[in-house]
Amino acid sequence: MPSEPAPRRIGAADSKTRARLVDAAEQLLLEEGHAAVTSRRVGARAGLKPQLVHYYFRSMEDLFVEVFRRRAEESLARTDRALTASASLRTIWEINADPRGAAFNVEFVALAKHHPAVRAEVARYARRYRAMQLRALSRALAEAGVAPEDAPPMVALLLMTGLTQVMALEQVLGVTAGHEETLVFVQDLIDRLDGGRRAG
């Protein structure tokens, strides 16, 4: 049987040096975009030799996946805590409207289009996040007395997600016409629903 072409050795996953490289990659990704995340620049940012990137990660794609995974897990945990503390419509909206992570999304969606490993990881996270929010929103809408026929939780969730994402994205471009008006409208709606429970 044709043995594998001698895989090169990869550093331990719990290495301190490895964590520093992931930190550096994350910073570069946020500040300058994924095109700036090269082994040389990551090494320089971490104060380490660039070759170490290739020692700890089989490829640059692997490094991207690791950066994403770390942030995604943290984000899921934070959202879970917030929803456990309070599952009101207001809380769910605020979690969605939080612009942190919007810059990340832009970079990782672009990466996902052409890197299968990144795409798989982003998709996995998107599904978990969606399911978590859907559970909370279903309950919150029911408690607010909104009938599922009038506003199916999944439809409401996609509308909310889309709205916050498009506004975060336009913020980057400096296009903010209508944002304030829309935020006021949505928050009024939520106040009415959250306040007047079982009122319709």
What is the rounded CA–CA span in Å between residue 185 and residue 200?
Answer: 18
Q: What does 121-189 look like in DSSP terms, one character per residue?
A: HHHHHHHHHHHHHHHHHHHHHHHTT--TTTS-HHHHHHHHHHHHHHHHHHHHHT--TTHHHHHHHHHHH
- Which of the choices its own copies, DNA, none does residue 32 contact, using the CB cut-off of 5 to 8 A by kind? its own copies
What is the rounded CA–CA span in Å between residue 85 and residue 75?
Answer: 15
- Return the C-alpha torsion angle 25, 28, 31, 32, nearest 10: -130
- Which of the choices its own copies, DNA, none does residue 9 contact, using the CB cut-off of 5 to 8 A by kind? DNA
Q: Report in angstroms how near the CB of residue 124 gets to its own copies at its nearest.
A: 9
- Which of the choices DNA, its own copies, none does residue 107 contact, using the CB cut-off of 5 to 8 A by kind? its own copies
Footprint (CB under 7 A) of DNA, residues 10-29: 11-12, 15, 17
Q: Report in angstroms how near the CB of residue 76 gets to its own copies at its nearest.
A: 15
Triad 79, 92, 101: Cα angle to 5°: 50
- Which of the choices DNA, its own copies, none does residue 85 contact, using the CB cut-off of 5 to 8 A by kind? none
Residue among 170, 178, 180, 32 at smallest CA distance from 99: 170
Q: Report in angstroms how near the CB of residue 153 gets to its own copies at its nearest.
A: 9
Site residues, its own copies (CB under 8 A): 32-36, 103, 106-107, 109-110, 112-114, 119, 122-123, 126-127, 130, 134, 152, 154-155, 157-159, 161-167, 169-170, 172-175, 177-179, 181-182, 185-186
Whether residue 46 contacts residue 24, with contact meaning beta carbons closer than 8 Å, is answered with: yes
Residue from 2, 3, 8, 200 touching DNA (CB under 7 A): that is: 8
- Which of the choices its own copies, DNA, none does residue 12 contact, using the CB cut-off of 5 to 8 A by kind? DNA
Q: Report in angstroms how near the CB of residue 20 gets to DNA at its nearest.
A: 9
